[in-house]
Amino acid sequence: MQSEALNFKNAARGAIADPNLRQALSNLETGFVAARSRAAAGLDEFEAMRDVAVDLKNHILANLDFYLARFEERVVAQGGTVHFCATAEEARQTILDLCRDYGAKTVTKGKSMVAEEIALNPFLEANGVEPIETDLGEYIIQLAEEPPSHIIGPAVHKTKDQVSDLFHEHHGKYGKTERLTEPEDLVNEAREVLRQKYFDADVGITGANFLIAETGSTIIVTNEGNGDLTQMLTPAHVVISSIDKVVPTLEDVSTILRVLARSATGQEMSAYTTLSTGPKRDGDLDGPGGFHVVLLDNGRSDLLGTEKQDMLRCIRCGACMNHCPVYLAVGGHTYGWVYPGPIGAALDPHFLGIEEAHHLPNASTFCGRCQEVCPMRIPLPSIMRHWREEAFEKKVSAKSERFGVKTWAFFARRPKLYRLATRIAMRLMGRAGSVRGGRFESLPFASGWTRGRDMPAPEGRTFMDRWMAGER
Amino acid sequence: MNTKSAHRANVGLFVTCLVDLYRPTVGFAAVKLLLDAGCTVEVPESQTCCGQPAYNSGDRADTKAIARNTIAAFEDYDYVVAPSGSCAGMLKHHYPRLFEGDVDWELRAKSLAAKTHELVSFLTDIAGVTEVKAALQGSVTYHDSCSGLRELKIKEQPRRLLGTVNGLSLKELPTAETCCGFGGTFCIKYADVSVEMVSRKAEDIRATEADLLLAGDMGCLLNMAGRLKREGSEIQVRHVAEVLAGMTDRPAIGETEQV
């Protein structure tokens, strides 16, 4: 996906002015946030489970090479193949080659953020392979020709009315001419339209939430069951995932599953937890003819051993964005690339470069709510701060901003000079403010502030000035 | 005021730059509360700011220089107390990280961190204050500033002391734990997003129908007061220390005596 991360400020302005987006995001806030809170409160050991999950992931990351090798060994033993891909280009090409090997004209797809990361759909389309999204949210945004705006709810920015319009516009060719408005009717219509496509597809592509080293299985968790049909009804199942998803054993996966759904949607478990282990064997009633796991690195291994390694613990639950006041104000598209919200602000600069993505880690108040709810306790604000430091060192941010900070710091490092300068400035501002009712409606050097709020005036003499003069 | 300990703790007051420049009343309220709690209070003259504007802008070198100045100014006191969760959190959690690997300064930063506290939680948790002698007729609502809430776990301490203010009733803000959108330099750099956040906050504050909005951090207070005033709201905005110290005779934030 083409990055638009540099356009953050403009995109934010547009998003804030969009009443549909506002409504959609407020549903997200009341829905997922309340559900997560109930789920966390409903399980006494929730916090302890988070700790166990964090320790487990740290152990995996410290032994990633071992578990990946073990995973590949087990996949091969089951009759499947693992394709390690260092870059997005390599992963795209590998998947296209597989599609060609199976003579695929259409492929069905389950939801995968890694597929978004490597911009798989446009690449397949450009090469004569038609991808059909089967996850309802992904299907909606495919019709709308938009990227996902949330990692677990790709169409979360759409209101029900907008979905009604989209289906009405696109489903006429299937003989569905009535504009439906009830969510259940909309889901049923999408299901009917998609059903035949499962049978027609030549390859089914899914993501993976986990790769199990012990068994060579891949796991997806969904609430629609579309992933099952995607992979079972086609001649070949291609899994696109990334190296950080490997987990040692089935037992370990169940540990992480217990925090995943609770953090994501507030469910105890997602409706479907689907394990895929190799292609169809003799005697199996169904299953794919071929089983391929395309494992993307795309710079992830460069994070190992750095202060940003903790990002690799992410299990893509989306809790950070559900709870982020910035995300809830501007929506996912404003971030301009695949991963939005706090985890995007931490991850995207790694994939795009800080020059391209510098707004994302800067557009945070560091309120800390993301870290508070992250099941993997990823220190997201700290990682964002590391990116800010890199941006500052590379002089990526606006000159005026750096000049402002440097000027302020020049005084803050020199207490006597600081005292003198602030004493004069506050007296002037205090005097000006007192004849304006105690606040300024506009200030030339703080127009960003005064565009949408008044600036309270200082009282006048500084505390230090008065204290040093003996006032108590 | 009841205090548990007879020991007169020598407190260095970290005034914070926003209190120093914008709202000296809060500094004097802090001094009064600390004296009433049986402490001695000194205000080192060489303090300026905790360094967050530089730290959160990615300017590590300037942050370290400012932090070294703060550490040197305060390390001789029994306690360092700041009328701000954000600045206290900076000293307590971020200074030690800033000097990781620099053995001398890391040790000094850790030692300072161990005795640094936000004002209200210092009064309740360290000085053992259980009630204040103050009165305020009216209803208040309270915003939990993010750093105080999440870095320092300050939640019920201010409510406990406010509960002892004569005549005061608390109307809880359902979104008390949602960021107001201040975020230091964020409020200027991403002004549109910040204004959207504080507008939502102001809507929630108004819905409580409280007479007065309180919080423990000047940054959030200036932001919320600025938005409420822009909307023409009558709700007054003050730092919690002003109410606890009974120093509400001064005009509220963003107001003058003769409006």
> What average pLDDT score do residues B38-44 get?
97
Is A452 in contact with B253 (Cβ distance < 8 A)?
no
> Residue A134: inside a domain, yes or no?
yes
* Domain tally, chain A: 3
d(CA B126, nearest CA chain A) in Å: 23
User: pLDDT digit string (tens) for B216-249?
Assistant: 999 999 999 999 999 999 999 999 999 999 999 9
Backbone angles phi, psi at A414, to 5 degrees: -125, 85
Is B62 in contact with A405 (Cβ distance < 8 A)?
yes
Q: Look up residue B12 and give its amino acid.
A: G
Taking the model in full, what pTM does it have? 0.96
Distance of CA B206 to the CA centre of its chain: 22
Query: What are the chain A neighbours of B36 within 8 Å (beta carbons)?
Result: none
Across chain B, mean pLDDT equals: 96
| Strand-pair partners of A332 | none
User: pLDDT digit string (tens) for B107-161?
Assistant: 999 999 999 999 999 999 999 999 999 999 999 999 999 999 999 999 999 999 9
For Cα atoms A419, A421, A423, give the angle at the middle one, nearest 5 degrees: 65
Query: What are the chain B neighbours of A366 within 8 Å (beta carbons)?
Result: 56, 146-147, 183-184
B72 close contact with A: CB closer than 8 A = no
User: pLDDT digit string (tens) for B60-82?
Assistant: 999 999 999 999 999 999 999 99
> Residue A36: inside a domain, yes or no?
no
> What average pLDDT score do residues B10-26 get?
98
> Residue A123: inside a domain, yes or no?
yes
| Strand-pair partners of B204 | none
d(CA A168, nearest CA chain B) in Å: 33
How many residue pairs from chains A and B have C-beta atoms closer than 8 A? Answer: 217
Q: Are residues A152 and A243 in the same domain?
A: yes
Per-residue pLDDT band at B17 (split at 50, 70, 90) = very high
d(CA A462, nearest CA chain B) in Å: 5
> Residue A308: inside a domain, yes or no?
no
Q: Are residues A344 and A442 in the same domain?
A: no
E strand or H helix that includes residue B158: helix B156-162
Is B150 in contact with A9 (Cβ distance < 8 A)?
no
Interface of B with A in 144-173 (CB under 8 A): 146-147, 150-151
A454 close contact with B: CB closer than 8 A = yes
Is A365 in contact with B179 (Cβ distance < 8 A)?
yes
The three-state secondary structure class of A316 is coil
Q: Are residues A265 and A408 in the same domain?
A: no
Distance of CA B121 to the CA centre of its chain: 10
Q: Are residues A207 and A237 in the same domain?
A: yes
CATH topology assigned to domain B133-244: Rossmann fold (3.40.50)
Q: Are residues A352 and A293 in the same domain?
A: no
Interface of B with A in 173-192 (CB under 8 A): 177-179, 181-192
Distance of CA B173 to the CA centre of its chain: 18
Give the Cα separation of B84 and B239 in Å (integer).
Answer: 10
Q: Are residues A256 and A355 in the same domain?
A: no
E strand or H helix that includes residue A11: helix A8-16
Choose the closest CB to A325 out of B28, B62, B197.
B197
The residue among B186, B179, B192 whose CA lies nearest residue A12 is B192
B190: nearest CA partner in chain A:
A363
d(CA B129, nearest CA chain A) in Å: 21
Give the Cα separation of A187 and B258 in Å (integer).
Answer: 62
Q: Are residues A129 and A219 in the same domain?
A: yes
Give the 3-state secondary structure of A343-402. HHHHHHHHHHCHHHHCHHHHCCCCCCHHHHHCCCCCCHHHHHHHHHHHHHHCCCCCHHHH
> Residue A33: inside a domain, yes or no?
no
Please give the full DSSP string across A59-118, using - where no structure is assigned: HHHHTHHHHHHHHHHHHHHTT-EEEEESSHHHHHHHHHHHHHHTT-SEEEE---HHHHHT
Is B188 in contact with A446 (Cβ distance < 8 A)?
yes
Interface of B with A in 45-64 (CB under 8 A): 45-49, 51, 53-60, 62
Per-residue pLDDT band at B257 (split at 50, 70, 90) = confident
Is A463 in contact with B188 (Cβ distance < 8 A)?
no
User: Tokens in use for B137?
Assistant: 């007729």
User: Tokens in use for B35?
Assistant: 């004296």
Query: What are the chain A neighbours of B242 within 8 Å (beta carbons)?
Result: none
Q: Are residues A412 and A392 in the same domain?
A: no
Q: Which residues contact A315 (CB under 8 A, 6 or more apart)?
A: A209, A256, A259, A260, A375, A376
d(CA A113, nearest CA chain B) in Å: 26
Interface of A with B in 311-340 (CB under 8 A): 325-326, 329-330
Per-residue pLDDT band at B258 (split at 50, 70, 90) = low
Is A409 in contact with B53 (Cβ distance < 8 A)?
yes
Choose the closest CB to A325 out of B181, B184, B250.
B181
User: pLDDT digit string (tens) for A380-409?
Assistant: 999 999 999 999 999 998 898 999 999 999
The three-state secondary structure class of B180 is coil
Instruction: Report strand pairing: A217-222 vs A272-276.
Output: antiparallel
Q: Are residues A332 and A412 in the same domain?
A: no
A6 DSSP 8-state letter: G
The residue among A66, A55, A49 whose CA lies nearest residue A243 is A66
**Domain residue ranges in chain B:** 10-125, 133-244
B227 close contact with A: CB closer than 8 A = yes
Please give the full DSSP string across A213-276, using - where no structure is assigned: TTTTEEEEEESS-HHHHHHHSSSEEEEEEEGGGEES-HHHHHHHHHHHHHHHTS-SS-SEEEEE
- End-of-domain residue from the set A301, A329, A359: A301
User: Tokens in use for A275?
Assistant: 């394990």
B66 close contact with A: CB closer than 8 A = yes
Query: What are the chain B neighbours of A439 within 8 Å (beta carbons)?
Result: 225-226, 229, 254-255
Q: Are residues A255 and A183 in the same domain?
A: yes
> What average pLDDT score do residues B207-218 get?
98
> Residue A202: inside a domain, yes or no?
yes
Query: What are the chain A neighbours of B188 within 8 Å (beta carbons)?
Result: 446, 448-449
B181: nearest CA partner in chain A:
A365
pLDDT given for residue B6 in this prediction: 52
Listed in sequence order, the DSSP H helices in A171-215 are 183-200
Asked whether the predicted pLDDT for residue B3 surpasses 80, the reply is no
What is the domain range of residue A161? 43-301
> Residue A19: inside a domain, yes or no?
no
Q: Are residues A174 and A197 in the same domain?
A: yes
A440 close contact with B: CB closer than 8 A = no
Q: Give the residues of chain A that fall short of pLDDT 50.
A: none
Q: Predicted ipTM?
A: 0.96
> Residue A215: inside a domain, yes or no?
yes
Q: Are residues A381 and A439 in the same domain?
A: no
A66 close contact with B: CB closer than 8 A = no
